[in-house]
A and B are shown apart, each in its own frame.
Chain A
């Protein structure tokens, strides 16, 4: 379900970390939130999943005012894969995923048939079914991230919010998480550190700098040379992956000297963005998870 962010100002200290942000997450899109450290990505996401109350602005999920909703109601609509939220106690994977049903269950928190089905489906989708009875402490980083994603899916959200979902993961698992998320068909808003991954998986990119939106649009536009230099202080080359057709972004420091073979590569951004749209689309062939 689409999310519209309007005039959002939020932060922990007197100086707001996010100021006057307008942004759109279109229905069914994978929207990546990118920006340097401290640019306000996490703060923005926290207001969306209600961990932080904004000082001003509106969040519209569909036609509903997200900030006016009861917290439980909001949590039924927005599922979250946050940072460092696996708890100090050693839940099994199934228990951890079942927590995603908290906003759906009554005061005694008993799981009904629908709840158990949602948990089982989330475990299945993320390839975690075989891990279900293992304690989180015995899982690898990649496995744990999948379990936490399964929890967010068990919420049966209309909007999936991911805060750095590829953090601490090796390249294989970075791709695996994003392939999975992109294949879900749910509306996704994800903060991503790795611009290359944002270029490859997002339909839409919102680039933030110093608490404001610096650029927004399809990856071909946001990762064009001009915005790339202005927002990130980087030079870059966009080109389609020769095998998958997904966009790739090669970045380098501004003014890096051209070395061997440096000048022969076609610079996608310089020839105009439309040359780089040969992607296979979302989902792609890699939907199954090989852990």
Chain B
């Protein structure tokens, strides 16, 4: 096997990469700004609370700043949720979409749109509905998958897929019933995901939820390791699989909800990033979760940059980019010496 990079070094390198990618990404756009200018504006803004006094400062602070922050935490959140879900179902091809969580968020948002009439309802209604939808879908999947007091991995996947299909159908139905093309456009946002229109309050809210839940989940990393051995293996180590699965699945559902609520259902990050992290640091979740979070952040910042620049001035849906960026990486990782997957 190839020798691994020491974990602290890897973590430091990834953190530095994210810290470097963010100002770079903020600098790219219709008004290009060098990274040092971006850093200066942000530093000014953070040291004095004076409002933006130049067009550049406005662009950096009000338009591109929240978007970059959102990219970081959406990427991190999706990656962590993916890694957790994969451990829970003991399968490295699972992700929050497979278990119906993102479908729940989309359905929640579309329902709210139909009921309250889209943007007119205020900025928090749709994200709130999406978050509630993900949480409700998570609760439904878990409750339906439970038998003999515990949700076995295979049942969880099957029920998740079924509930996801059902919710997808419901969402499509409601989209077709939406008369205006404008409303359909809005619905597409939830289905494909986008970072456009990021604003501070929601971006900060998402960042807070992702940070807290990722920390909680990392604290339970040993429990995730034990669950990867199955219910009986976990029991032998003193871990009650039924309770642990409920708590961890709930956390993953809330994490997905927080992310999808602000950015829509961005695919592929939750599936691919944990599988990129494992060859680097092994299968232990104490290392996989932080590594995946940073890789996810990096991937989404890069994908967002590509989505904004590839067909300028048209912006591509970011979900297309995550797939285009993710697939080659995944294939390369799986073909590599040690994938950390299967045997």
Residues of A within 8 A of B (CB): 12, 46, 49-51, 70-76, 78-80, 82, 84-92, 95, 98-100, 102-103, 105, 107-109, 133-138, 152, 155
A137 contact set on B, CB distance < 8 A: 342-343
New A-B pairs, 19, CB < 8 Å, besides A99-B225, A99-B226, A135-B340: A51-B235, A75-B239, A79-B236, A84-B230, A85-B229, A87-B283, A90-B339, A91-B228, A92-B283, A95-B225, A102-B222, A102-B225, A102-B226, A103-B237, A107-B220, A109-B221, A109-B223, A137-B343, A155-B237
Task: Please tell me if B233 contacts chain A, counting CB pairs below 8 Å.
Answer: yes
User: How many whole Å from A167's CB to the nearest CB in chain B?
Assistant: 15
**Contact check: which of A73, A74, A82, A135 meets B1 at CB < 8 Å?**
A135
| Contact status of A89 and B278, CB under 8 A, knowing A84-B230, A135-B338 | yes
State A64–B233 Cα separation when bound (angstroms): 23
| Contact between chains at A73 and B238 (CB < 8 Å) | yes
| Contact status of A87 and B230, CB under 8 A, knowing A92-B282, A102-B222, A137-B343 | yes
Sample (22) of A-B pairs whose CB atoms are under 8 Å apart = A49-B235, A51-B235, A82-B233, A87-B229, A88-B342, A89-B92, A90-B278, A90-B340, A90-B342, A91-B225, A95-B283, A99-B237, A102-B222, A102-B237, A102-B238, A105-B222, A109-B223, A135-B1, A135-B282, A136-B343, A138-B1, A155-B237
State A84–B310 Cα separation when bound (angstroms): 48
Task: Please tell me if B22 contacts chain A, counting CB pairs below 8 Å.
Answer: no
Chain B facing A: main interface SS? loop
**Contact check: which of B87, B229, B278, B338 meets A86 at CB < 8 Å?**
B229
Q: Which of A80, A88, A89, A134 has the most CB of B within 10 A?
A: A89
User: How many whole Å from A100's CB to the nearest CB in chain B?
Assistant: 7
User: How many whole Å from A256's CB to the nearest CB in chain B?
Assistant: 39
| Contact between chains at A134 and B1 (CB < 8 Å) | yes
* Count class of interface residues, chain B: 35 or more
**Contact check: which of B92, B219, B230, B238 meets A108 at CB < 8 Å?**
B219
A80 contact set on B, CB distance < 8 A: 236
State A134–B343 Cα separation when bound (angstroms): 13
| Contact between chains at B91 and A102 (CB < 8 Å) | no
State A84–B233 Cα separation when bound (angstroms): 8
State A138–B232 Cα separation when bound (angstroms): 24
**Contact check: which of A12, A87, A133, A155 meets B228 at CB < 8 Å?**
A87
Within 8 A of A (CB), among B204-251: 219-223, 225-226, 228-233, 235-240
A46 contact set on B, CB distance < 8 A: 232
State A103–B286 Cα separation when bound (angstroms): 16
User: How many whole Å from A105's CB to the nearest CB in chain B?
Assistant: 6
B340 contact set on A, CB distance < 8 A: 89-90, 135
User: How many whole Å from A172's CB to the nearest CB in chain B?
Assistant: 22
State A82–B240 Cα separation when bound (angstroms): 16
**Contact check: which of B223, B231, B237, B284 meets A95 at CB < 8 Å?**
B284
State A137–B338 Cα separation when bound (angstroms): 9
A88 contact set on B, CB distance < 8 A: 90-92, 228, 342
Within 8 A of A (CB), among B90-110: 90-92
**Closest B residue, CB atoms, query A100:** B237
State A72–B341 Cα separation when bound (angstroms): 29
State A25–B238 Cα separation when bound (angstroms): 22
| Contact between chains at A51 and B338 (CB < 8 Å) | no
| Contact between chains at A74 and B238 (CB < 8 Å) | yes
User: How many whole Å from A168's CB to the nearest CB in chain B?
Assistant: 14
State A154–B231 Cα separation when bound (angstroms): 20
A103 contact set on B, CB distance < 8 A: 237-238
| Contact between chains at B222 and A87 (CB < 8 Å) | no
A73 contact set on B, CB distance < 8 A: 238
| Contact status of A91 and B238, CB under 8 A, knowing A99-B226, A105-B222 | no
User: How many whole Å from B76's CB to the nearest CB in chain A?
Assistant: 19
| Contact between chains at A75 and B237 (CB < 8 Å) | yes
State A86–B343 Cα separation when bound (angstroms): 11
B342 contact set on A, CB distance < 8 A: 88, 90, 137
| Contact status of A89 and B238, CB under 8 A, knowing A95-B284, A138-B1 | no
| Contact between chains at B235 and A99 (CB < 8 Å) | no
A134 contact set on B, CB distance < 8 A: 1
Q: Which of B222, B236, B238 has the most CB of A within 10 A?
A: B236
**Closest A residue, CB atoms, query B222:** A109
| Contact between chains at A89 and B228 (CB < 8 Å) | yes
State A76–B236 Cα separation when bound (angstroms): 9
A138 contact set on B, CB distance < 8 A: 1
State A105–B219 Cα separation when bound (angstroms): 12
User: How many whole Å from A98's CB to the nearest CB in chain B?
Assistant: 8
**Closest B residue, CB atoms, query A71:** B238
Task: Please tell me if B335 contacts chain A, counting CB pairs below 8 Å.
Answer: no
State A134–B230 Cα separation when bound (angstroms): 22
